[in-house]
């Protein structure tokens, strides 16, 4: 990694292609016995290189915007037919683009969206396959910002109202009520809530079938959590537990299963490599100031998320308690607080681990900082998959 940092500069996102493939393979294997499609959640990391390699393995994609649809088109035109479109605020141009691309499924989140979808489908002469994203009112333990399955959240449609809405939709010939979907939140470590949510969805599907709807898809959403700590983590075991929970929730239901994992596939395949700029003391505190900041990786600032930090050279040595912070002008710009870290000095490289998901995809230009470069490692080889943003590119759209 140190040589990559020398070659491409820092901050630098580095990904392991092999680990991404492996993680995708775990889902394929765990659900082998049932017809399924793994629709990778593009928002977790929308790098075209990552998307293309997943598409080659047969992945579909869970998208939430017209922009992400465009990414699928660039990564793999063949994968367009394996796209599910989620999100509470789809706009006309986005719906039109998705209808035109003949995606697999619209995950509809409100009655007004369903009405708009019917209208646009008619206008374009395309029949729209949809699933209502139901809100199962199931609690899943995670950070409040990324929990979505309770009725107090903005997501989905109250599961109790769903049947009546499907009934109304059946009268519109431009709509094809093809599935039911659910997503209860993200970074969920205990798998029981997934089973509970799916049980409710499966019961609804049985009712819908009795009402005469031809339900072929059940979308279980994403959300399977990883371990951000330093301990042992067995991803294969975690996916197996997840699969067992989903099987339990599905019972005898045989509809084609759609999955929308994001984090689990890419988080641990990525690290953010950054260089120490300064080390300084303020009173009792020692600050390690890195060239990466909250604009490059916002998870610690936004969710108080823990990311392991490891110096690239001296893994062992005297350790000191430090705050690792970036150059952005906010006290919330930190990667770690009061963390025991091997003593580092200006010029040293450190890696923030498990940064492959919701790292680069949430990066911004705050403080007019160009976004990092990204490199994909493949065995002994490596490839620049996105060059560092230049000052010129950053200012290109502006007029003084
Ligand atoms: N499907 C839907 C409808 C979603 O909203 C999400 C994530 C996923 C799938 C993928 O979830 P995953 O498998 O990655 O947990 N920025 C936050 C996470 C936000 C998750 C948003 N929705 C973070 O850094 O923790």
CA of 131 to the centre of ligand 1 (A): 19
> What is the mean pLDDT of the segment spanning 206-227?
98
Express each pLDDT in 94-107 by its tens digit: 999 999 999 999 99
Tell me what pLDDT residue 4 has.
97
Determine if residue 222 is labeled as part of a ligand binding site.
Answer: no
Give the number of the atom of ligand 1 that is nearest the alpha carbon of residue 86.
3
Average pLDDT over residues 38-58: 98
Banded model confidence at residue 369, pLDDT cuts 50, 70, 90: very high
Residue 281 DSSP label = E
* Percent of the chain with pLDDT strictly greater than 90: 92
Q: How far is the CA of 188 from the centre of ligand 1 (A)?
A: 10
pTM, two decimal places: 0.97
Per-residue pLDDT tens digits for 342-368: 999 999 999 999 999 999 999 999 999
3-state secondary structure (DSSP) of residue 328: coil
Instruction: Tell me how far the alpha carbon of residue 149 lies from the centroid of ligand 1, in angstroms.
Output: 12
Average pLDDT, integer, range 262-287: 97
Q: Is the pLDDT of residue 274 over 90?
A: yes
Q: Which residues approach ligand 1 with their CB closer than 6 A? A: 41, 44, 62, 86, 146, 183, 186-187, 221-224, 260-264, 299, 303, 357-358
Nearest of 280, 312, 229, 230 to residue 12 by alpha carbon:
312
Which pLDDT band holds residue 135 (cuts at 50, 70, 90)? Answer: very high
Taking the centre of ligand 1 as the mean of its atom positions, its distance from the CA of residue 186, in whole angstroms, is 5
262 assigned binding-site residue: yes
Q: What ipTM was assigned to the predicted interfaces of this complex?
A: 0.99
* Residue that is written with structure tokens 């598409």 in the block: 55
What the chain holds in terms of domains, given with CATH numbers, is 2-12+268-389 (2.40.37.10), 31-261 (3.20.20.10)
- Is 263 annotated as a binding-site member? yes
Annotated binding residue 171: no
For this structure, is 329 an active site residue?
yes
Average pLDDT over residues 269-287: 97
Angstrom distance (rounded) from CA 71 to CA 216: 27
Question: Residues 318, 329, 380, 396: which is the catalytic one?
Answer: 329
Model confidence over 305-347: pLDDT tens digits? 999 999 998 767 889 999 999 999 999 999 999 999 999 999 9
Atom of ligand 1 nearest to the CA of 44: 14
Examine the pLDDT at 85 and tell me if it is beyond 90.
yes
Among protein residues, the one whose CA lies closest to atom 8 of ligand 1: 222
């Amino acid at each position: 990694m140190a040589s990559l940092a020398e070659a491409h500069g820092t901050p630098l996102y580095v990904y392991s292609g092999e680990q991404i493939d492996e993680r995708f393979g775990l889902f394929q294997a765990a659900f082998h016995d049932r017809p399924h499609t793994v629709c990778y959640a593009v928002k977790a990391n929308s790098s075209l290189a990552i998307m293309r390699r997943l598409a080659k393995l047969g992945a579909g994609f869970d998208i939430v915007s017209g922009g992400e649809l465009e990414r699928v088109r660039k990564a793999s035109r063949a994968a367009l037919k394996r796209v599910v479109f989620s999100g509470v605020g789809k706009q006309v141009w986005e719906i039109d683009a998705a209808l035109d691309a003949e995606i697999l499924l619209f995950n509809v989140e409100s009655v007004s969206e369903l009405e708009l979808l019917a209208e646009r489908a008619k206008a374009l002469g395309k029949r729209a396959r949809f699933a209502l994203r139901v809100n199962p009112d199931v609690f899943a333990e995670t950070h409040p910002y990324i929990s979505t399955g309770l009725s107090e959240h903005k997501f989905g449609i109250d599961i109790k109202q769903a049947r009546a809405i499907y009934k109304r939709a059946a009268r519109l010939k431009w709509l094809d009520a093809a599935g039911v979907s659910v997503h209860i939140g993200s970074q969920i470590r205990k798998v029981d809530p997934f089973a509970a949510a799916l049980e409710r969805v499966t019961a609804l599907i049985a009712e819908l079938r009795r009402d005469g709807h031809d339900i072929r898809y059940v979308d279980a959403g994403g959300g399977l959590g990883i371990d951000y700590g330093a301990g042992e983590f067995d991803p294969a075991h975690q996916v197996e537990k997840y699969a067992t929970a989903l099987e339990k929730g599905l019972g005898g239901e045989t509809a084609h299963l759609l999955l929308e994992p994001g984090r689990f596939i890419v988080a641990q395949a990525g690290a953010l490599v950054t260089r120490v700029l300064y080390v300084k003391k303020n009173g009792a505190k020692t600050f390690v100031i890195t060239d990466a900041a909250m604009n490059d990786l916002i998870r610690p600032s936004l969710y108080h998320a823990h990311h392991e930090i490891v110096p690239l050279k001296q893994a062992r040595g005297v350790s000191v308690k430090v705050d690792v912070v970036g150059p952005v002008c906010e006290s919330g710009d930190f990667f770690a607080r009061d963390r025991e870290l091997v003593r580092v000095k200006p010029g040293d490289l450190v890696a923030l681990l498990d940064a492959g998901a919701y790292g680069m995809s949430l990066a911004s230009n705050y403080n007019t900082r160009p976004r990092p470069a990204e490199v994909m490692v493949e065995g002994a080889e490596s490839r620049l998959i996105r060059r560092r943003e230049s000052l010129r590119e950053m200012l290109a759209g502006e007029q003084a």
